[in-house]
Amino acid sequence: MKRKYIVPLLIIYACIGTMQLSAQTKYSLEDCKKMAIENNRTIKNSRLEIEAAKQTKKNAFTNYFPKVNATGMDVRFNNPLIEYTMPGGDLPVYDGNPVNLPVATQFAYFPGISLSLLDKAAFGSITAVQPVFAGGRIITGNKLAQLGVNVNNSRFILSKSEVLLRTEEQYWLIVSLNEKLKTLHMMGMLLDTIYKQADDACRVGLINRNDVMKVSIKQSEMRMNRMKLENGIKLASMAFSQYIGLPYDSTMVLSDTLVIDQNPYEVYLDAGQALLHREEYKLLKKSVEAEELQTRLKIGEYLPEVGVGIGAVYYDYAFSNNKGTSNTMVFASVKIPISDWWGASHTIKERKYKEQIARNNSQNNTELLLLQIQKTWNELNEAYKQIEVAHETMIQAEENLRINSDNYENGIVNISDMLEAQAMLQQTKDELTDARSGYKIKLVTYLQVTGRH
């Protein structure tokens, strides 16, 4: 069989592949990104963290309003608190003259009494206290709560960015593996053609059987590699489906291709300008702000607290014929932590040191972010140039295979040279696929580190 029959075979193979794809479920990169954002558990948790921070903020806002407290108590004693017993007897009748009292001749009988008091009591009160001054802690606490919401919003954006990056990495991995599988199919068809030519030549005595065996061994290696690659695609697809929250479907097809439609300079952004868009940079600034607010909160603990309030009380000590008593009051309170002032200066200094530590860390990590942006830009350029090199190498490998095919048909080279040229072409095609998928990943990574999610 001559080489001219290879092209019709490739056309037939492409038609069969097209019919198979028509029954498959296709997903674009954008489809997968949307599913990842909707279903990924990390993003779901980030949304919940934002809602929790909002509730903390609402709770801090309530400190601006009066604090209302109600207290009620009902007491039953096992034994009365006051017990008194007076025995009975004859009591002299008093006629109004004190002189006659000791020698009274008339008496009245007194049966005696027994008294038990305070065997039960009831007490109730309600007060409302409006803070007038609390050392600035209420205002500072609300600022910290708002800062917590902002921090969680930034963390949500970071989580979303990481999920999208991870989604693209897995997406292009599967696409590149499928491209390599297509290359294996084409190389397998080429090997089948070479085997048929070698077998025909062996039958007529042009080559020995050993050359045919070399092709057969290469075919076996190709089948083994194909099986490994198909298993790898299946595992990668299962992991990808789990990551984006999609049930695994063996008919799933990723529709985007490894076409390179952007060069690095189309997406270039100055590192200093890009830094301002980084959520990590914003978080560094917020970490310094948080330490400053914590210091102000600590200072507020050592300042006087002033409040005014109103209240009402009710009490019933269960005396005989007592129906209970109620009263109202207006009051003001001042709390001065005098004994705490001794250690306050040391605590404040400690907080100042922590502020400076936060500033130092912020400056250091800002410089690292700038280095990361520059490093990612360099890697993006290298990945783009690697595509050019891999493409040129593949063209040379195709030409090498063509020349060896012509020479093989003319009897100039042997079967081993043909197999070596075929293996070289397969390798260069795989390297080009890796270079293109690598560039895709480097591109989205650069967009991420420059704050473009």
pLDDT band at 1 (very low <50, low <70, confident <90, very high): very low
340 within 8 A of 164, measured Cβ to Cβ:
no
End-to-end Cα distance, the chain:
54
Nearest to 27, CA basis, from 161, 178, 160: 178
Task: Please enumerate in sequence order all residues whose Cβ is within 8 A of that of 92, keeping only pairs 6 or more positions apart, or say none.
Answer: 101, 104, 106, 107, 108
- pLDDT at position 375, please? 97
**Least confident residue range of 147-151, 213-217, 250-254, 312-316:** 312-316
pTM given for the model: 0.77
- pLDDT at position 450, please? 94
Q: Is the pLDDT of residue 107 over 90?
A: no
**Could you give all domains of the chain from N- to C-terminal order, each with its CATH number?**
27-73+121-449 (1.20.1600.10)
Q: pLDDT (tens digit, 9 = 90+) per residue, 334-377?
A: 888 887 777 788 889 999 999 999 999 999 999 999 999 999 99
The mean predicted confidence, pLDDT, of the chain is 86
Q: How far apart are CA 123 and CA 5, in angstroms?
A: 106
- pLDDT at position 115, please? 66
Q: Report CA 125 to chain centroid distance, whole Å.
A: 48
Q: pLDDT (tens digit, 9 = 90+) per residue, 34-77?
A: 999 999 888 999 999 999 999 999 999 999 999 899 998 888 77
pLDDT band at 94 (very low <50, low <70, confident <90, very high): low
